[in-house]
Amino acid sequence: MPPSRKGELSSTMAILGLLIERSDSINGVRLRLEDRFPSADWGSSIGHSAMSSLFRQGFVRPVKDSGSSQDPYEVTPEGVERFKKWLSEFATTPPFARDALRAKLRFVSDEDGLLTVMKAIGDQEEACFEAAEEARLRLNRAIRLGQLGPAKGADWESRLDSAMMADEAGVWSDMGRRLKRFREDLEDVVGPGGQDQPPPSRE
């Protein structure tokens, strides 16, 4: 599992936070991960791999050790300290500086390569707009079910959840619009005829 950049959310930190809230089994944590971070798209085996990593580092331990995947885990004092440290860490380099799509464009040497990256940008653009719509639907559903009260008079946690869910929808929309503009700029590089334009110069 590749390490996350300083302060960013990794599966291990997400699981550590959930276990600090309450002890849980691997399967229970996986379900809570999907519920708490629906857009993170972690794999189905993330509970096992992340819990194993946390256990090896001494950050979690089984409440009772029968060898079953249903055994609950709890956070050790060292795990609590590690999570507190993560809460205070923030990346100094914006994610944009290490964007993989932009990096790949630096190595494109012909028009076919550029078209391949442009297609990937278009796919990401579409995925962002879909994620924005899903986030808006989750927010509206939570309001409709009474899980989020009005902005004024609601409890602190409800207001926080409301702000975060609204921001998630906005972030996905903004990313989709940025990718759309970027793709359209690259289309100008290729030109309307596609193969009629020379490949981008790297000089």
- How many other C-beta atoms lie within 10 A of the C-beta of residue 71? 14
Rounded Cα–Cα distance for residues 183 and 122 (Å): 7
Give the mean pLDDT of 32-51.
83
Q: What's the chain's average pLDDT?
A: 82
Least confident of 54-58, 75-79, 189-193, 199-203: 199-203
* Global confidence as pTM: 0.61
Given a cut of 80, whether residue 93 has pLDDT beyond it is: no
Residue reference for tokens 């004092």: 77
pLDDT-based confidence at residue 2 (cuts at 50, 70, 90):
very low
CB-neighbour burial class of residue 197 (10 A; exposed 0-12, middle 13-18, buried 19+): middle
Rounded Cα–Cα distance for residues 96 and 44 (Å): 28
Winning range, highest mean pLDDT, from 1-5, 61-65, 188-192: 61-65
Given a cut of 80, whether residue 7 has pLDDT beyond it is: no
DSSP for the chain, please give it.
-PPPPTT---HHHHHHHHHHHS-B-HHHHHHHHHHH-TTS---TTHHHHHHHHHHHTTSEEESS-SS-TTS-EEE-HHHHHHHHHHHT---SS-GGGG-HHHHHHTT--SHHHHHHHHHHHHHHHHHHHHHHHHHHHHHHHHHHTTSS--TTTS-HHHHHHHHHHHHHHHHHHHHHHHHHHHHHHHHHHH-TTSTTSPPPP--
For 129-166, what is each residue's pLDDT tens digit?
Answer: 998 999 899 888 888 887 776 555 567 777 888 888 88
Return the closest-CA partner of residue 57 out of 44, 71, 73. Answer: 73
